[in-house]
Structure 1
Amino acid sequence: METLLPLVIQLISGAVGGNIAGAALKDKSLGALGNTIAGIIGGGLGGKLLTMLTGAAAAAPAAGIDIGTLVQQIAGGGVGGAIVMILVGLIKNMNKTA
Structure 2
Amino acid sequence: MLALGWIGWIIIGGLAGWIASKIKGTDAQQGLLLNIVVGIIGGLLGGWLLGVIGFDVSGGGLIFSFVTCLLGAVILLTIVQFFTRRK
Provide the TM-score with structure 2 as the length reference: 0.61
SS where residue 31 of structure 1 aligns? coil
**CA 1:13–1:49 in 2, change beyond 3 Å: closer, same or farther?**
farther
Change over 3 Å in CA distance of 1:51–1:81 after alignment to 2: same
Q: Kindly provide the CA deviation profile for residues 26-85 of structure 1, in whole angstroms up to 9, marking residues without a partner as x.
A: 2x4541243432222111221244256223543xxxxxxxxxx21222211221122112
Q: 2:77 matched to 1:85?
A: yes
Q: Which runs of 4+ in 1 moved over 6 A?
A: none
What residue ranges of structure 1 are gaps of 5+ in the alignment?
A: 59-68
Give 1:7 deviation, angstroms: 6.5
> Quick one: percent identity of the two aligned structures?
26
**What is the alpha-carbon root mean square deviation over aligned residues?**
3.0
Deviation of the 1:12 alpha carbon: 4.2
Q: How many residues align?
A: 82
1:25 maps to 24
Which position in structure 2 is the counterpart of 1:63? none
Q: Secondary structure at the match of 2:44?
A: helix
TM-score normalised by the chain length of structure 1: 0.56
- Between the aligned partners of 1:47 and 1:19, the Cα distance in structure 2 is 18
Unaligned runs of 5+ in 2: none
| Shift of residue 88, structure 1, vs aligned partner | 1.2
The equivalent of 1:76 in structure 2 is 68
Whose relative contact order is higher, 1 or 2, with alpha carbons under 8 Å and at least 6 apart? 1
